[in-house]
Structures are given as structure tokens and as C-alpha cells.
Amino acid sequence: MARPRKKPLNIAAEGDPLTQVLKNIPADKLRAALKRDRMFTFRLSEMDRETMDEVAKTMNLSVAEYLIRLHHYVYEKMREMGTVK
């Protein structure tokens, strides 16, 4: 069960890098990307988990949402550089 957020995210903020990346993605592609129907499990060190928890908490996100958003941000940057399609 996902933990509840303490306060809503302000995703419309102009300074939010994720918002800047996502506003260029067509709505149908974004909906497909946000559909959560797959499970991903991996092992990590206690230190990595603690720092991920800390960063995610600071951003008011779950660790899973933090990792997904981080992935989208990195992917978009790599796409801009021509590294991926």
C-alpha cells in the first residue's frame, strides 16, 4: 500500500524540471507512461535505501515515484543529446 502524501505536489511550477520535460510529451503517450501495471523489484544496500528515502521524503514522494521521475528526467536529457530515441 502506498504511503499517503503529506501535501500535494505543485507540478505546475515553472521552475520544476520535470514539468518542463513533461509538457512536451503528447497526452496519450504520457497517459501510457503513467499507467502502473508492472512490478519492478531489486536489491540495494541499506545506505542506498536510507539516502533514497531521505531524498524522496524531502521531495514529498514515495521512493518508487522518486525513481520513476528521476528516470523520466534522465531519459529526456539523453533524448535531447541524441543518445536514445
What is the residue extent of each domain of the chain?
Answer: 44-85
Map grid coordinates 524531502 to a residue: 58
pLDDT digits (tens, 9 = 90+) for 32-79: 777 778 888 999 999 999 999 999 999 999 999 999 899 989 999 999
User: How far is the CA of 78 from the CAs of 24, 34, 50, in angstroms?
Assistant: 15, 19, 27
10: pLDDT strictly greater than 60: no
pLDDT value for 49: 96
Residue 83 · residue 76 · CB < 8 Å: no
pLDDT value for 46: 97
